[in-house]
C-alpha cells in the first residue's frame, strides 16, 4: 500500500508539470496583458514598454515559463501584477473562506443526501421516493447563479432574514454567529446541487445492493432491518459514494466560482474572476496549480478509500 502511494505521488509530478505548461500557454493566448490592465491609461507607449521589460513580459513565452518554473522550485509563487502583494499571501487569505464555504456545503449536502438516498432505495417507488428524486433533479438542474439570485431575493431582500452577501458584516466583530448568518444562503445554494447529485448515486447504488443474496442471509440470521440496511447494505454501496466524494473534493478549492461571485464571498472563486479580468498571470497560475494538486490528491484519496471500503480491492 505504502509503495502504491509513493508510486502515485511520483506519477503526479509529470502530470503537474504538464498542467502548468498548458495553463501558462492558455493564459498567454488570452488577449491583453497585465500591463494594459494595471497602468494609468495616459501612460506613453515608452512607459508601457519599460514596465513590460521590467516585469519580463517582453520575453518569449517559453522564457517566461522557465523563469516562473525556476522561481516555483525555489518556493516562490511570485507577486501579484495588480496588487503587488506576494501571491502566497493572497492565496492564504482566500483559501480559508472557500474551504469554509465548500466544506460546510459538502457536509450539509452529504448529511442530508445520504440518509435520503438510503430511504429512497428502501422505499422505491413510494411517494417519498418520488418527492426526493424530484427535488434532486431540481438541485442538479437549476444553475447556481439563478438559485443564488432567487434565495437572495426571497430570504435577503424580501424577508430580511439573512445578509445578501460577503462573509462578515462590514465593521462588525467577525464573530461566529455573524459568519454563520452569512454562510446560510450560499451553503443552501451549494448544498442543493451537491446533495441532489449525491442522492441519485446513493439511491441507485443501494438499489443495486438491496437485492443481493447476502442481505437475505443477514435477514435469515434474525438481524434487524436497521442493521441489515446500515451495516450490511450500506458498506457494499460505498464505492459509488466514494467516487462522488472524490469528484466533489476538488470543489473545495474551485467549486464555487459562480456562487462566490453572486454572494461576493471573499474566496478563491472571487479571486479567480478578479485575476482573470486583470490578467494577473502569477495569481492565476498559483490558483491553477493549487486546483491541480487538489484533484490529484482527491484521486489518490479515492483510490485508497476504495481499498478500505472493499477488501477485494488491493494495490500490490
Binding site for another protein (CB under 8 A): 212-214, 216-224, 231-232, 235-236, 309-312
Nearer residue to another protein within complex by CB, 238 or 286: 238
**Residue 222 C-beta: closest distance to another protein, Å:** 4
3-state helix, strand, coil in the chain (%, to 5): 75, 0, 25
- Nine-digit cell string for 33: 496583458
**Are the beta carbons of 76 and 276 closer than 8 angstroms?**
no
Question: Rounded to an integer, what distance in angstroms lies between the CA atom of residue 17 and that of residue 21?
Answer: 6
Question: Rounded to an integer, what distance in angstroms lies between the CA atom of residue 151 and that of residue 155?
Answer: 6
**Residue 249 C-beta: closest distance to another protein, Å:** 23
**Residue 216 C-beta: closest distance to another protein, Å:** 6
Nearer residue to another protein within complex by CB, 203 or 232: 232
Nearer residue to another protein within complex by CB, 71 or 224: 224
**Residue 130 C-beta: closest distance to another protein, Å:** 17
Nearer residue to another protein within complex by CB, 7 or 235: 235
What Cα–Cα distance (Å) separates residue 202 from each residue in 161, 248, 285, 316? Answer: 33, 14, 36, 29
Nearer residue to another protein within complex by CB, 53 or 216: 216
**Residue 217 C-beta: closest distance to another protein, Å:** 5
Nearer residue to another protein within complex by CB, 171 or 222: 222
Q: Which residue is associated with the grid cell 509503495?
A: 3
Cβ-based burial of 211 (10 A; exposed 0-12, middle 13-18, buried ≥19): exposed
Nearest residue to 98 via CA among 244, 241, 292, 263 = 263
Biggest CA-to-CA distance, the chain: 86
**Residue 233 C-beta: closest distance to another protein, Å:** 9
Question: Rounded to an integer, what distance in angstroms lies between the CA atom of residue 174 and that of residue 186?
Answer: 17
Amino acid at each position: 500500500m505504502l509503495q502504491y502511494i509513493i508510486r502515485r505521488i511520483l506519477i503526479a509530478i509529470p502530470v503537474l508539470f504538464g498542467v502548468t505548461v498548458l495553463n501558462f500557454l492558455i493564459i498567454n493566448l488570452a488577449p491583453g496583458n497585465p500591463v494594459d490592465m494595471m497602468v494609468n491609461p495616459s501612460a506613453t507607449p515608452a512607459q508601457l514598454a519599460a514596465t513590460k521589460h521590467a516585469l519580463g513580459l517582453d520575453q518569449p513565452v517559453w522564457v517566461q515559463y522557465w523563469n516562473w518554473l525556476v522561481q516555483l522550485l525555489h518556493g516562490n509563487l511570485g507577486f501579484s501584477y495588480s496588487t503587488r502583494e506576494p501571491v502566497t499571501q493572497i492565496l492564504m487569505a482566500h483559501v480559508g473562506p472557500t474551504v469554509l464555504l465548500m466544506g460546510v456545503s459538502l457536509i450539509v449536502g452529504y448529511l442530508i443526501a445520504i440518509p435520503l438516498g438510503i430511504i429512497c432505495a428502501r422505499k422505491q417507488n413510494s411517494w417519498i421516493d418520488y418527492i426526493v428524486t424530484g427535488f434532486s433533479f431540481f438541485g442538479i438542474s437549476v444553475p447556481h447563479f439563478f438559485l443564488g439570485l432567487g434565495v437572495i431575493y426571497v430570504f435577503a431582500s424580501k424577508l430580511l432574514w439573512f445578509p445578501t452577501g460577503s462573509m462578515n458584516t462590514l465593521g462588525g466583530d467577525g464573530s461566529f454567529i455573524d459568519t454563520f448568518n452569512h454562510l446560510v444562503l450560499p451553503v443552501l445554494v451549494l448544498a442543493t446541487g451537491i446533495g441532489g447529485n449525491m442522492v441519485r448515486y446513493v439511491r441507485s447504488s443501494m438499489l443495486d445492493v438491496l437485492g443481493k443474496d447476502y442481505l437475505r442471509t443477514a435477514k435469515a440470521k434474525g438481524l434487524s432491518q436497521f442493521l441489515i440496511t446500515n451495516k450490511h447494505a450500506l458498506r457494499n454501496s460505498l464505492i459509488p459514494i466514494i467516487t462522488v466524494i472524490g469528484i466533489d473534493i476538488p470543489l473545495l478549492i474551485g467549486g464555487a466560482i459562480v456562487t462566490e461571485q453572486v454572494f461576493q464571498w471573499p474566496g478563491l472563486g472571487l479571486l479567480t474572476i478578479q485575476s482573470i479580468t486583470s490578467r494577473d498571470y502569477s495569481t492565476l497560475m498559483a490558483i491553477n496549480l493549487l486546483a491541480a494538486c487538489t484533484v490529484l490528491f482527491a484521486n489518490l484519496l479515492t483510490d485508497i478509500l476504495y481499498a478500505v471500503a472493499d477488501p477485494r480491492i488491493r494495490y500490490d
